[in-house]
Chains A and B, each alone.
Chain A
Amino acid sequence: MQRMKKILVVDDSATMRHMVQASLSRLAESAFIEAGNGLEAIEQLALTAVDLIVADLNMPDMHGIELIRFVRKQPAYQAVPIVVLTTRSDAASRSAALAAGASYYLTKPFSPDELAAEVGRLLTHA
């Protein structure tokens, strides 16, 4: 049997974090960890093994792109899938996020189906 997948949800809005979790709750056997900013996210990653990260871009303290770069510098997290979830729909933000190491880029308002499908796919392939 597969072990429970751990998903880290990083967003400064609590409601948004809960929306992400509700969208992903249909994925069997996943557990969620929350972080309200980049520093909290990095701390969580240092303390537990995480299987996938869903992160916002516009956050206080540490921008999402900086978070992705920092995560990718750690050997343990070079391959962890990172889904960016942001209101920024411009091509420049998208390419900056992907260049930093994001696995998938989804804009808000997001479709729960699309998010779940993509996260499911990334978890199986990982």
Chain B
Amino acid sequence: VTRTPPDNPLIAEFLDDYFAECDEHLTVIRRGLLAFESQIGRVRPDRRLCDELLRSLHTIKGLSGMVAIQPAESLSHQMESFLRALQDGNQPLTTDSFEALIAGTRRLEEVLAASRTHASMPDSAALIARFEALSRASAPLSTSLSTSPSTAAQESLPGRAVTSAGGVAGGGEEPSDGGLPQGMVLWRFGFQPSVPLHERGVNVTSVRKRLQAIGDIRYAAPRIAENGGGISFEFLVAAPADAAAFAGWQADGLTWTQEPPPETAGRSAPGALPAAVGLAPLSVTNSVRVDLSRLDTLVQLVGDLVISRSRLADILQRLDPSLPAAQRRALQETNQAIERQLRMLRDGVMRVRLVPISEAFARLQFIVRDLAGEQGKQIKLEVYGQETEIDKYLVERIRDPLLHLIRNAIGHGLEPAAERLACSKPAEGRITLRAATAGESVVLEVEDDGRGIDAADVAAQAHALGLRDTPDLAEGLSLLDILCLPGFTTRTQADRISGRGVGMDVVRSTIRELGGSLAMDSRPGRGTRFSLRLPLTLAIADALIAGVGRQTFAIPRALVEEVLPLGSCSSTRFENNEVILHRGQVLPLVRLASVLGLNEVAVQDHGFALVIDLGASQAALAVDTLVGLREIVVRTLTDPLVRVPGIVGATELGDGRAVLILDAPALIRAARQPPHGESRRRVEV
């Protein structure tokens, strides 16, 4: 396999595609391996799982050869050989060989990452030797690994060979209907492709997708019509008996008949479904891989349209009042239609960028497994909401913060088994990962049922580190605020579990940069939960446009819980702090004018209080005027020279004015810090 790659002009041209496709396959492999763990101890593990892993490894091998990334080629080849030996041999999958597969996958990732960044290549020789030994041990005695001529072609044929023309394949390749679930019958579908159907998007792949939606495809094969007619495809599908689901499909070239009920006598046990079961997932030709930069251009264009539209709305507002009402109405209606369509366009474009969070979660599951092994802790990982979709850009940016929270949970949160048993908890620690969509936000949670965070401990630690003169929770700094002070750590040793140089401060600032917020809820002895709230999409957001004095600002709508007229809720002073009473709660009131150092005319009693979500608590931000709710295009300020805490970016309003977008929670926190907080703020900048 280690041949010298030919001098290949394709390498440079396809390297990006190569990395992208390998990433997809690694995701499939990671997910597959998690399911494969259940097969430990089994001889000839589940064919469907094996095939899926083999296919991805095989593709990585082939592509790596083409782009001359030899370590990836050899490693994937060895892993593939081992899985094949396992599939055909009589040795069970052991914990040790499973661990080797995990280690191999991780090394593949590392090799690809090193190639991508031109870093030095990790050494894979030992792993390759390990797989060679494993393959030798697992191979059936009769088959040598060098694939003797009699077995090679056979081996390369998967169990589900396709039928010959006009009939069922010899050797009983068509699967039995054994193992039909309760209430399911076997349907035989025929599909005859044609050019008109193909032009309408009805093809063998879309038909298969349709059949997958109604049941489980047990078999698929092409046929040549006996009368010399064209090609057709036949599918056996286990689906409910009710044919109503496919009424009307005749128009799409489909025919169907119900198979006679299976004779149960002499059938193999339900568990022993033949290898023919389990078609591959939809082929890749059904989707298009698009460069993210092209999508970014689209988003940018939609953003420009949003600005032009609000300019149009602005002009309409100031239309000459002498214009006949009918004309004015027509213009208004058209403007509203454009607004509606633009919103749909925006949603459509944003949806293209959404990917399921499962990709990021699968990687974390992998890491949890690994760290649990390293630390000798028993950990059960529960994952909810994997199908939740999130912007592709966000998924990449939150990977490190999530990883850090997981490492913390394992390293600091979960107690060793003995300690857990002593507090009458189950020996097995639990980590829960949750994802859910909440309005315009996505909420991700990392929760453990460990020892919780000891507030006094944290305060003492911060004090010892000299991070604050008098770290005191009563000062308004929350526990989370202290954890997020730059340089804060509860580590007693630089263990690799929770270290790697990233602190909670980086976690929080990354999330804030993404326009999100971080909250924490910790109960001593019960566990800790971190919640990350992130905008569903970046770039375009709804914002409240508010005025203070002569200045106008934008505040992201997602952060504002409520708007109250200041006159309705009298504010009072309480130990140097202004507060308002709202829904039976005392909320600190922060005046935007004073935070920003704008010349205050007088403390106003008109104006509005915006109730801002600070994660664990709320506070009110006072502004003079409210212009309204607008769709804004967020232009982030990435230049470190113009980055200021409390400002997340800038936007352009319909009238062409540029306004700053405020990070309201950060401003409120800054304002509520006592003067000696100055030293810290300087460090942060």
Contacts and interface: CB of A to CB of B under 8 A. Distances in A.
B283 A63 contact: no
Interface residues of B, number: 62
B469 interface: no
A30 interface: no
B169 to A, nearest CB: 9
Nearest to B282: A36
Interface string A47-85: 100000000011011110111011001100000000000
B162 A108 contact: no
Contacts of A27: none
Contacts, number: 162
Contacts of B286: 36
Contacts of A5: none
Contacts of B285: 14, 34-36, 40
A13 B148 CA distance: 28
Contact of A90 (B5, B14, B147): B147
A70 B280 contact: no
B143 to A, nearest CB: 12
A111 B61 CA distance: 16
B195 interface: yes
Contacts of B68: 109
Contacts of B13: 22
Contacts of B59: 12-13, 16
Contacts of A28: none
Given A46-B193, A92-B150, A108 B66 contact: yes
Contacts of A37: 280, 283
A6 interface: no
A22 B11 CA distance: 11
Nearest to A42: B222
Contact of B157 (A45, A63, A113): A63
B214 interface: no
Contacts of B502: none
B153 interface: yes
A110 B160 CA distance: 28
A30 B153 CA distance: 32
A14 B411 CA distance: 41
A54 to B, nearest CB: 14
B224 A14 contact: no
A57 B1 CA distance: 17
Nearest to A35: B285
Nearest to A37: B283
Contacts of A114: 6
Interface of B: 1, 3, 5-10, 13-14, 17-18, 20-21, 51, 55, 58-59, 61-63, 65-66, 68, 146-153, 156-158, 160-162, 164-165, 193-195, 198, 203-205, 208, 220-222, 224, 230-231, 233, 279-280, 283-286, 289
Given A12-B59, A87-B58, 4 more contacts: A18-B17, A38-B162, A61-B280, A73-B165
9 contacts: A14-B21, A15-B20, A19-B14, A43-B204, A61-B280, A63-B157, A66-B161, A90-B146, A90-B152
